[in-house]
């Protein structure tokens, strides 16, 4: 009987953990930096890289990181009905996308807490947080 009670308690705990994990939604973090940013020193950049490594490692370890991408600086921007093409990535207000992360969080407030820890702020960057919708269907 004692084993049965322990087994039921274990299954309940596992089910509760699974339900909590399943309740998390996905959020897109669009990380931008200023194209006119000038570092004060090489050391500043190296310190920021270390903080990025720690930040990404913590996200992965917590299970909140779904995917992370860093586009190259090469690209093209196609726009308008005419589909005019510029041979550069899209830049607005001197902001350029430097990374795109997909994270899991319980709600927008929790996603913003994760975003607020991003090391890009130290270098004058920004993070846009947006809830993701599954348009492919499942």
Token pair in block for residue 26 = 């996905």
Residue 8 has pLDDT above 50, yes or no: no
Task: Give which of 71, 74, 67 is closest to 132, Cα–Cα.
Answer: 67
Distance CA 128, CA 102 (A): 12
Residue pLDDT, tens place only, 77-131: 999 999 999 999 999 999 999 999 999 999 999 999 999 999 999 999 999 999 9
For residue 73, what is the DSSP state?
S
Instruction: State residue 30 phi and psi, 5-degree precision.
Output: -100, 110
CA atoms within 13 A on the CB side of 135: 2
Residue 52 host element (H or E): helix 42-62
Domains in the chain: boundaries = 23-131
Nearest to 55 by CA among 41, 38, 68: 68
Burial class of 19 by CB neighbour count within 10 A (0 to 12, 13 to 18, 19+): exposed
Q: Residue 117 to residues 50, 82, 126: CA-CA distances in angstroms?
A: 14, 41, 11
Assess contact for 95 and 32: CB atoms under 8 A.
Answer: yes
Q: What homologous superfamily is domain 23-131 in, according to CATH?
A: Dimeric alpha+beta barrel (3.30.70.1060)
| pLDDT tens per residue across span 59-73 | 999 999 999 999 998
**Taking the model in full, what pTM does it have?**
0.77
């Amino acid at each position: 009987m004692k084993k049965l009670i322990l087994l039921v308690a274990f299954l309940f705990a596992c089910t509760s953990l699974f339900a909590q994990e399943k309740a998390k939604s996905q959020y897109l973090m669009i990380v931008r930096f200023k194209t006119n940013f000038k570092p004060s020193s090489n050391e500043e950049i190296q310190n920021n890289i270390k903080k990025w490594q720690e930040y990404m490692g913590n996200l992965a370890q917590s299970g909140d990181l779904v995917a992370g991408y860093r586009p190259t600086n090469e690209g093209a921007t196609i726009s308008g009905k005419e589909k005019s093409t510029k041979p550069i990535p899209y830049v607005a207000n001197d902001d350029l996308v430097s990374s795109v992360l997909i994270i899991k969080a319980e709600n927008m407030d929790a996603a913003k807490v994760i975003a607020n820890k991003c090391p890009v702020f130290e270098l004058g960057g920004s993070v846009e947080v947006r809830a993701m919708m599954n348009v492919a269907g499942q």
